[in-house]
Structure 1
């Protein structure tokens, strides 16, 4: 066992000062990731600063219809919060599908966004992993990569981002509020998760000691018609093979606006901007959905075992769009035939 020190703080300034002053320290919230990484000798932290007493647990309504979610609010609490369920059902659904009830009762919103990748090679200290130890290589590229990414990959890393919540937040243009040694900061959620590129070990654009204090979701009437669809190997407590967060507004039978993000298939929560461009101003038909899905996945790259995700992601997009619009023929298989090039969609 390696020695790890522990301290508990009760105010934000002390928390930031304590962690910023010690390069070997980190914050401890729900502990559902950090404790696991300590057990397998992956986390380099030698000092844990418990922040659970900080006043960051609230879910507050903002003027105009937005919400501010405290970083220490528990996943289970946020999922059931009335403003979330009414205005942003996609967030509630993503949280409820994101973990077991026991984990949701412990895991915090900030911790969920800061969680590390779930790649088996990352958690195996005997394997090469550029995220854990830069310059050693990526074992997944030629290894067991069924669960790995097909979008946003690089020669340095193909691990998928694990958070369901982050996918919903990316679709809704949320903002991450932080506090650090240099003062307060705000980061657009899409920028909070950089692509791995040549620096996969840099998972967030934050300084050491910078603390996530809240997530703000701007008002968006379209979000009242939103959902989160998660496709996984088993129905209970499993990471996504592919997922989609979608919100749509219609003008008659035409898509006037849309927000779409994907999970389980990319190295970050993936905003599907190419698909959105195809969908806006187009008729709300299965043909349109399938065209948008193909456009979004046009540059996807499989690595062998995960090749199936290219088609699965397309099917997930089509199904999510049909579900959010209440398609009564959701089980008719038409979307799947279109994706395979069979049938005319009539």
Structure 2
């Protein structure tokens, strides 16, 4: 079938709204009509040559409506509302242990440009193979994907909002709720207040953390962080965050620290802010490095650095929980989302990179009518 997609023809090229061919539904496949998709920093990285081959169709924060299912599909049916996240095998020991983002075959099914069977599902009208991303390629009007990618959600919530839960917002919240699992009253610091940082702040508030320290360069973002639950704000252009956190905690530091900036100097400050027996989680997608002295930074004080991919959650459980929190007013992520028409995708990325917009969402289906929110 013919679809419309934002094609990236070569490394660094802009998105081009283009007509492509999408493969037919097979037994294990699900065809989803994409309503909207969030833009993530990872999309920008891949557009500029992080790992994928070209041409490709990016997008991995999709949300839409199931239009057709293969004969072997059991968990969703036509008409279901779904969030699209990443693919996983479901059979390796990591998947069986409840850690699908650690799937042994994660790179194969998400970053090789093919579906879980090793097939290209996208082609140009001239029959050139096009790489997909996260087994969803959500920057398109339709996605041919797998059951593992899909999280069924309530039809009572605006689908246009939900895609970012599948990556950025699920990452920040999962790092707190599923990995750090703070006790009530534990302190936490979040370096960088973009979408991932905001999700971590809201999750920390849900968990009963105190203090919740937000660090950023921009006062406007810090004020939003305060509205979302931060108790202390640090503008790092005028203050050394590690020194102020040491002062705030009588030199002890905080048991939980997250960085979403990926800036080496900032990650160093973040690690310096961790208390004895504390944990540092660097979440940013970056090729940059920062230096660690294994004894003085980690061994002395029993400190930990923990890698966390997409929140290390079971998305089919975690994302509906986030929606429940949102419905109760406890996870108000709609406050920092801005919608763009699909053909404005290049501007949406530009505004995201400049910091003008925290979370840009491009809307493919302009005919979609969101439900009215009660209250």
Please give the TM-score of this superposition, normalised by the length of structure 1.
0.29
Please give the TM-score of this superposition, normalised by the length of structure 2.
0.27
Higher strand share: 2
